[in-house]
């Protein structure tokens, strides 16, 4: 079925849409302006704002559920932002099936992480500031997914970038954190250029920023322009979602506190790119070339993240590599077109559950191991942290795609859709996805084995304290449990009677593809590959202990440890190239521009120095010049007047 | 002979006076060359008055003489006061207004 | 095209040559007095021209005012300052001569070319104009006091201003009161008492005990020797002091010869 975009004005319950954003925004404002006075109850206010926003979101969801399928699209106009004739942009919010799904994910996972942070950041004196930034992030992300025009979406886009910077660099006294925050922001900026140019192109092509004119007019616009817009939107998505070639910031972003990694860099912000592509499905539907590029980028990133995750000893960086890879799956699915949009979003939601759960579990492990992140120093933690082990394990099973956990439902659909694309690309993409599943199983099993199984490999920390791993307080355990429940059940619930497909397809459109391989055969192949991955990891890390110092490893391992030389490439090409370019420009500026300016002044100075010698002081020289001048004047007069 | 020749003579005298102003260094001689130029102009005026049959040229020449006399008075006074302070009558020595 | 008569033609050619030579002499002569005299020559020639052209009054005024008064002014000032400064004809400003001559020649050519090229009307002559008022002076007066009256008044202002200006410029303010004769005598004796070589009687004027009344002949001191101080320092510097006849003492015989008349003794002594 083809998607349509025809919202009606929001009335009644749907007028609460703006309040979903305003609650966390007000929370952030109060905590920011209140300052240290709010330190005692700041975290509670932050949690309340997040939970309140989730409650409103739930209300809106049920209100939408009550409406028939075709009438689930509402626009709430808040105020006119730029009232310039010929260039109007409004602040308005658009509520439909796609945005409410994101709202629930953001506010739900966000609330859980707010609650988790109360205990996780308990010993941090800046806890209030942390909640302020978290609320700010919630507000910005909600603006992003609820915006009804691309300009407001861009504003939310920038807002989440800002919140990400503030949160990654939260421990600003650590130089590595500050640098990581800068790196994230700068790489995001590169992507933002793409998004901003795409928005500008949209304005020049359709005359408006709003979703309605753009999405409804896409089918009748020039294919070349739509391809350009699509590629630029992809660039923006690559920046925000850490896709190749802008993936270098995600692993460094793990410098931030673990709740930040869980919320922003697992569940929500990095999925903004996927949202953008799925929302702009009308544009991508018109341009097969843009879709092809999207799928290629998704496939490359999928493999990229998986390979990196295999060699990381830092538990958070391993999970970050996994995030990169899973978002690659989502982007791949989104690039497949109508056969894949719904599954991209479905995987996004399930991934939000289990990845956030995995990150919170990692935080819990770190909490008990004196904030040590090196997995080589873990081992046999399952006896000491049973709840963490349980939730982490459920998340692990979900991510590798073991039925009946949620990852199985969503990832398999993506693999099916990849094969159903048809032609050479379908085979390549499908096989890449399958290979990715194999590697995912391998590295996730590695993480679990190194952390929770085997023998104790604990080392005392810098001050000589032995780690005493203990279960985290219940306020940290409860969110992990909730997320684990989601990891277990969400996928099944979404696929039950194609609930999710039916829910979302009015927005994205759905079409059935024909996979050359039978679906059941495909599922069996996937499970075999997963088992192979688990087995290989068991051979490497289950049967023998991981040495406490990393062994030299093969070329692939070394390359994976260096993030597949992503940073090295960036440094060489962009940093050194940029520095060289700057030096050349500075040289030109100093010699050329300054040379001209200084040359003018020197010329003036020199010529005036020479000219002033005319003032010799001798009356006769003056008399001569007067006489000569008079002669010339007379001659000129005669010539002119005849 | 054509009375125009007086005009040519006046031109020559004027030219010679200008040359003297530019070449000579002694202030008095320069002044005298200026007087020569004035006289040459007077000659031209008188010739023109003869040409037109009107006495206006002579009147103007008369006034030129008056003004030249006044100018000589002041100019020589200046030369004397400059000479008193500087002990030099060369126009090149009064060259302090320079770069 | 009015032709002049033979007399005027002759006057013109002779006078023009003399005036051009005089102008050249003015420019190129080394001694300033010669230059002044050349200028006087030029002015006299011009006066003749004026009279020849019917501007009789102007010609007389030229001689009286210009040559007589203005050139005398020049010569007075020359006396005060000009005699010492000999102007060398070497050019000190670089390139002045090389630039000045072409420019001046160009100017001259332009001027002559303008005159040659111009459409000059026929010469009318001043006879009629002179006759209008009954003579050159009267006609000039008629014109001067009617049409050019304002210029006349202004020129009077100019003259007054210039006279005042000259007085102001050359005024030397006395900073100390002028010494009377008694005071300067007292001062002389005081200085002589201190040992300064000062003449108690003041310097002699030229011509005191002198045989000649000339500036450049020294006077004689009571013992018959010439007084260097009686000749102007300038002339002394120029070494143009004339010789003198030493004054014989009353009744003295020189070289055995009896004292003859003054004239004979003078001739004899001069030959020494």
For residues A494 and A291, the model is more confident at: A291
A623 chain-B contacts, CB cut-off 8 A: 21-22
Percentage of chain A beyond pLDDT 90 is 46
For A265-284, the pLDDT digits (tens) are: 777 888 899 999 999 988 99
Q: What is the pLDDT of residue C205?
A: 61
Q: What is the pLDDT of residue C257?
A: 47
For C41-91, the pLDDT digits (tens) are: 999 999 999 999 989 999 999 999 999 999 999 999 888 875 655 656 677
A618 chain-C contacts, CB cut-off 8 A: 93, 96
For the cut 70, the answer to whether the pLDDT of residue A457 exceeds it is yes
For the cut 60, the answer to whether the pLDDT of residue C208 exceeds it is no
For A463-488, the pLDDT digits (tens) are: 777 778 888 888 889 999 999 998 88
List of chains touching C (3+ CB pairs within 8 A): A, B
Whether residues B92 and A615 touch (CB distance < 8 A) is answered with no
For the cut 60, the answer to whether the pLDDT of residue A219 exceeds it is yes
Q: For A560-564, B41-45, C5-9, which range has the lowest pLDDT when averaged over its residues?
A: A560-564
Task: With 0.80 as the threshold, say if the pTM is over it.
Answer: no
Q: What is the pLDDT of residue C204?
A: 62
Say how many CA atoms lie within 13 Å of B54 toward its Cβ.
Answer: 7
Q: Scan for tokens 């406490």, then name that residue.
A: A548
List of chains touching B (3+ CB pairs within 8 A): A, C
Q: What is the pLDDT of residue C203?
A: 66
Which of A338, A224, A199 has the alpha carbon at shortest distance from A281?
Answer: A338
**Nearest by CB to B55, which of C82, C121, C143?**
C143
**Nearest by CB to B97, which of A612, A613, A617?**
A617
Whether residues C27 and B24 touch (CB distance < 8 A) is answered with yes
Mutation pick from B15, B19, B22 vs chain A, by most beta carbons of A within 10 Å, is B22
A634 chain-C contacts, CB cut-off 8 A: 107, 110
Q: What is the mean pLDDT of residues A605-609?
A: 91
For the cut 50, the answer to whether the pLDDT of residue A29 exceeds it is yes
Distance CA A88, CA A91 (A): 10
For the cut 70, the answer to whether the pLDDT of residue A313 exceeds it is yes
For B50-68, the pLDDT digits (tens) are: 999 889 999 999 999 999 9
Q: What is the pLDDT of residue A502?
A: 83
Q: What single DSSP character describes residue C254?
A: B
For residues C212 and A544, the model is more confident at: A544
- The two most distant CA atoms of chain A are separated, in Å, by 117
Distance CA B59, CA C143 (A): 8
Question: What is the ipTM for the molecules in this complex?
Answer: 0.93
Closest CA of chain A from B32, distance in Å: 15
What percent helix, strand, coil does chain C show, rounded to 5? 60, 0, 40
Q: What is the pLDDT of residue C82?
A: 59
- The two most distant CA atoms of chain B are separated, in Å, by 53
Q: Scan for tokens 């030493």, then name that residue.
A: C246
Q: What is the pLDDT of residue C269?
A: 42
Instruction: Check if C13 contacts A (Cβ < 8 Å).
Output: no
Q: For A19-23, A58-62, A255-259, A461-465, which range has the lowest pLDDT when averaged over its residues?
A: A461-465
Confidence of residue A51 (pLDDT cuts 50, 70, 90): very high
Q: Cβ atoms within 10 A of the Cβ of A260, count?
A: 28
For the cut 50, the answer to whether the pLDDT of residue A227 exceeds it is yes
Gyration radius of chain A's alpha carbons: 30
Instruction: Check if B38 contacts C (Cβ < 8 Å).
Output: no
Q: What is the pLDDT of residue C258?
A: 45
Q: What is the mean pLDDT of residues C128-157?
A: 90
For the cut 50, the answer to whether the pLDDT of residue C260 exceeds it is no
Instruction: Check if A633 contacts C (Cβ < 8 Å).
Output: no
Q: Cis link prior to A404 (omega < 30° from 0)? A: yes
A615 chain-B contacts, CB cut-off 8 A: 97-99
For C22-43, the pLDDT digits (tens) are: 999 999 988 888 999 999 999 9
Closest CA of chain A from B36, distance in Å: 16
Q: What is the mean pLDDT of residues A440-446?
A: 92
Burial of C165 (0-12, 13-18, 19+ CB in 10 A): middle
Which of A411, A360, A348 has the alpha carbon at shortest distance from A390?
Answer: A360
Distance CA A562, CA A560 (A): 5
- The two most distant CA atoms of chain C are separated, in Å, by 88
For the cut 80, the answer to whether the pLDDT of residue A325 exceeds it is yes
Distance CA A531, CA A63 (A): 43
For the cut 90, the answer to whether the pLDDT of residue C246 exceeds it is no
Structure tokens at B32: 């005298």
Could you tell me if A506 and A72 are in contact, meaning their C-beta atoms sit under 8 angstroms apart?
A: yes
Closest CA of chain A from C61, distance in Å: 30
Nearest chain A alpha carbon to C117: A642
A620 chain-B contacts, CB cut-off 8 A: 21-22, 25, 91-92
Distance CA A168, CA A159 (A): 14
For A144-169, the pLDDT digits (tens) are: 999 999 999 999 999 999 999 999 99
Whether residues C110 and A638 touch (CB distance < 8 A) is answered with yes
Q: For A435-439, A572-576, C94-98, which range has the lowest pLDDT when averaged over its residues?
A: C94-98
Could you tell me if C246 and C220 are in contact, meaning their C-beta atoms sit under 8 angstroms apart?
A: yes
Which parts of chain B have pLDDT scores under 70? none
Q: What is the pLDDT of residue A547?
A: 76
Indicate the average pLDDT of chain C: 81
Whether residues C103 and A628 touch (CB distance < 8 A) is answered with yes
Q: For A127-141, C38-52, C86-100, C117-131, which range has the lowest pLDDT when averaged over its residues?
A: C86-100
Confidence of residue C266 (pLDDT cuts 50, 70, 90): very low
């Amino acid at each position: 079925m083809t998607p349509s975009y025809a919202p009606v004005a929001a009335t009644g319950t749907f007028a609460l849409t703006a309040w979903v954003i305003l609650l966390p925004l007000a929370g952030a404002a109060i905590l920011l302006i209140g300052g240290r006075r709010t330190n005692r109850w700041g975290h509670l206010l932050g949690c309340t704002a997040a939970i309140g926003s989730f409650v409103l979101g739930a209300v809106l969801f049920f209100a939408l559920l009550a409406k028939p399928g075709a009438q689930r699209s509402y626009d709430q106009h808040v105020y006119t932002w730029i009232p310039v004739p010929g260039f109007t942009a409004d602040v308005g919010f658009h509520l439909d099936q796609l945005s409410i799904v994101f709202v629930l994910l953001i506010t739900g996972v966000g609330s859980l992480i707010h609650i988790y942070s109360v205990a996780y950041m308990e010993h941090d004196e800046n806890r209030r500031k942390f909640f302020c930034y978290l609320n700010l992030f919630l507000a910005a992300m909600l603006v992003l997914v609820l915006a009804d025009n691309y300009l407001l979406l861009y504003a939310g886009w920038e807002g989440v970038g800002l919140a990400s910077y503030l949160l990654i660099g939260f421990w600003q006294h650590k130089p590595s954190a500050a640098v990581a925050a800068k790196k994230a922001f700068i790489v995001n900026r590169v992507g933002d250029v793409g998004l901003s140019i795409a928005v500008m192109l949209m304005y020049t092509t359709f005359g408006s920023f709003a979703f309605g004119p753009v999405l409804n007019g896409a089918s009748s616009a020039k294919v070349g322009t739509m391809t350009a817009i699509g590629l630029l939107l992809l660039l923006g998505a690559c920046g925000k979602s850490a896709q190749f070639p802008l993936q270098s910031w995600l692993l460094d972003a793990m410098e931030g506190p673990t709740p930040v990694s869980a919320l922003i860099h697992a569940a929500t912000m990095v999925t903004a790119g996927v949202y953008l592509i799925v929302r702009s499905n009308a544009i991508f539907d018109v341009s097969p070339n843009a879709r092809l590029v999207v799928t290629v980028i998704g496939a490359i990133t999928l493999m990229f993240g998986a390979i990196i995750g295999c060699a990381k000893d830092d538990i958070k960086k391993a999970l970050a590599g996994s995030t990169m890879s899973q978002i690659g799956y989502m982007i791949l699915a989104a690039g497949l077109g109508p056969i894949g949009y719904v599954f991209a979003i479905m995987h996004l939601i399930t991934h939000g559950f289990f990845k956030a759960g995995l990150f919170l579990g990692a935080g819990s492990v770190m909490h008990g191991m004196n904030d040590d992140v090196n997995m080589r120093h873990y081992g046999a933690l399952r006896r000491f942290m049973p709840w963490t082990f349980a939730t982490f394990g459920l998340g692990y099973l979900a991510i590798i795609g073991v039925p009946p956990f949620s990852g199985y439902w969503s990832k398999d659909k993506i693999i099916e859709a990849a094969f159903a694309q048809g032609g050479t690309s379908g085979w390549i993409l499908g096989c890449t996805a399958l290979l990715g599943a194999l590697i995912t199983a391998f590295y996730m099993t590695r993480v679990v084995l190194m952390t929770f199984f085997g023998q104790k490999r604990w080392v005392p920390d810098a001050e000589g304290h032995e780690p005493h791993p203990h279960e985290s307080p219940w306020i940290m355990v409860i969110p992990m449990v909730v997320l684990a429940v989601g990891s277990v059940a969400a996928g099944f619930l979404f696929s039950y009677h194609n609930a999710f497909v039916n829910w979302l397809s009015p927005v994205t459109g759905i079409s059935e593809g024909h996979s050359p391989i039978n679906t059941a055969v495909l599922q069996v192949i996937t499970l075999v590959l997963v088992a192979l991955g688990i087995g290989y990891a068991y051979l490497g890390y289950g049967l023998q202990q991981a040495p406490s110092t990393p062994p030299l490893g093969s070329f692939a391992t070394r390359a994976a440890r260096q993030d597949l030389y992503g940073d090295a490439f960036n440094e060489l090409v962009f940093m050194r190239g940029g520095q060289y370019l700057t030096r050349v420009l500075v040289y030109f500026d100093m010699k050329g521009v300054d040379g001209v300016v200084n040359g003018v002044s020197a010329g003036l100075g020199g010529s005036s120095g020479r000219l002033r010698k005319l003032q010799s002081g001798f009356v006769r020289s003056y008399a001569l010049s007067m006489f000569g001048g008079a002669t010339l004047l007379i001659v000129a007069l005669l010539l002119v007047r005849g | 002979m054509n009375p125009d020749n007086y005009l040519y003579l006046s031109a020559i005298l004027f030219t010679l006076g200008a040359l003297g102003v530019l070449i000579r260094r002694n202030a008095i001689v320069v002044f005298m060359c200026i007087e020569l130029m004035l006289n040459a102009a007077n000659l031209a005026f008188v010739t023109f008055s003869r040409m037109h049959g009107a006495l206006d040229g002579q009147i103007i020449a008369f006034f030129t003489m008056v003004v030249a006399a006044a100018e000589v008075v002041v100019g020589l006074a200046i030369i004397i006061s400059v000479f008193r302070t500087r002990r030099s009558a060369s126009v090149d020595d009064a060259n302090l207004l320079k770069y | 095209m009015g032709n002049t008569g033979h007399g005027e033609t002759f006057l013109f050619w002779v006078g023009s040559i003399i005036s051009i030579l005089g102008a050249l002499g003015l420019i190129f002569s080394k001694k300033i007095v010669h230059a002044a005299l050349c200028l006087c020559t030029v002015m006299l020639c011009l006066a003749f021209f004026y009279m020849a052209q019917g501007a009789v009054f102007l010609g007389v005024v030229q001689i009286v005012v210009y040559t007589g008064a203005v050139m005398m002014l020049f010569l007075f000032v020359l006396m005060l300052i000009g005699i010492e400064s000999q102007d060398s004809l070497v050019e000190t400003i670089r390139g002045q001569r090389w630039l000045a001559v072409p420019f001046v020649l160009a100017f001259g050519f332009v001027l002559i070319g303008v005159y040659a090229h111009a459409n000059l009307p026929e010469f009318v002559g001043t006879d009629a104009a002179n006759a209008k008022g009954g003579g050159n002076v009267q006609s000039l007066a008629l014109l001067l006091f009617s049409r050019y009256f304002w210029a006349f008044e202004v020129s009077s202002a100019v003259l007054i201003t210039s006279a005042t200006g000259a007085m102001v410029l050359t005024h030397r303010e006395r900073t100390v009161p002028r010494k009377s004769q008694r005071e300067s005598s007292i001062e002389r004796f005081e200085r002589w008492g201190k040992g300064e070589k000062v003449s108690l009687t003041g310097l002699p004027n030229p011509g005191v005990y002198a045989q000649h009344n000339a500036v450049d002949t020294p006077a004689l001191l009571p013992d018959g020797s010439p007084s260097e101080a009686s000749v102007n320092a300038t002339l002394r510097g120029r070494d143009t002091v004339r010789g003198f006849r030493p004054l014989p003492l009353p009744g003295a015989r020189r070289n055995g010869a009896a004292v003859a008349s003054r004239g004979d003794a003078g001739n004899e002594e001069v030959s020494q």
